[in-house]
């Protein structure tokens, strides 16, 4: 009997710390519940830099089944193709048709919040949908990547990786600021 009670307590604790189901509520009040770690992600609606962020977070391109054509072209012309050769096989496009996207059997839609029509169609599909902004942080590159990682890391169960990336990025920024401060001082009369 003690073993069963111990096992029940252990299962209860494990579920309390489990990352899934994960619920996200955006700034518009839209609630998305993601039952399990996404393995088939569609990124559409103008989120061009986002596929590379997801690939670096996951150390893989396997979960992305669709991305904007501009994203794929940029990735194919970069070192990312060497790191993640599966990029070449990811479906891409410019004119996102919700019916075609549903045929990819995604378990997560990610769309640019400015593409209202596409985001609304994604939400109506019943597939968990996350809206992402490129301007919410005043186009500050660090704050934007921090915002994206804060949103995506828990969904992808990669919070530790995201934290290390942000720490590394802040370290580089600090060294740049110090170097530029030294330059500014040496230029003063």
Q: Tens digit of pLDDT for each residue in 140-157?
A: 888 999 999 999 999 999
Extract the tokens encoding 170. 């802040």
Q: CA–CA separation, 71 vs 145, rounded Å? A: 16
Q: Are 157 and 19 in contact (CB under 8 A)?
A: yes
Provide the whole-model pTM. 0.82
Query: pLDDT tens for residues 57-115?
Result: 999 999 999 999 999 999 999 999 999 999 999 999 987 899 999 999 999 999 999 99
Shortest CA distance to 102 belongs to which of 128, 127, 120? 127
19-187 belongs to which homologous superfamily?
Answer: Nitrogenase molybdenum iron protein domain (3.40.50.1980)
| High-pLDDT (> 70) share of the chain, % | 87
- Judge whether residue 119 has pLDDT over 60: yes
Q: Where are the domains of the chain?
A: 19-187
Query: pLDDT tens for residues 9-28?
Result: 333 333 344 478 999 888 78
């Amino acid at each position: 009997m003690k073993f069963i009670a111990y096992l029940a307590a252990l299962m209860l604790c494990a579920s309390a710390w489990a990352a899934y189901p994960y619920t996200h509520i955006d700034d518009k009040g839209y609630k998305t519940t993601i039952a399990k770690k996404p393995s088939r992600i569609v990124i559409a609606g103008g989120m061009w830099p986002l596929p590379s962020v997801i690939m670096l977070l996951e150390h893989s391109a396997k979960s992305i089944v669709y991305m904007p054509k501009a994203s794929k072209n940029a990735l194919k012309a970069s070192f990312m193709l060497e790191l993640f050769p599966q990029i070449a096989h990811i479906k891409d496009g410019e004119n996102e048709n919700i019916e075609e996207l549903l045929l990819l059997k995604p378990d997560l839609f990610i769309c640019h919040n400015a593409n209202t029509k596409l985001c609304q169609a994604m939400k109506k599909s019943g597939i968990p949908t996350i809206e992402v902004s490129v301007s919410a942080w005043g186009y500050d590159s660090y704050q934007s990547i921090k915002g994206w990682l804060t949103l995506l890391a828990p969904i992808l169960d990669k919070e530790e990786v995201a934290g290390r990336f942000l720490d590394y990025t802040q370290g580089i920024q600090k060294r740049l600021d110090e170097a530029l401060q030294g330059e500014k001082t040496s230029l003063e009369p």
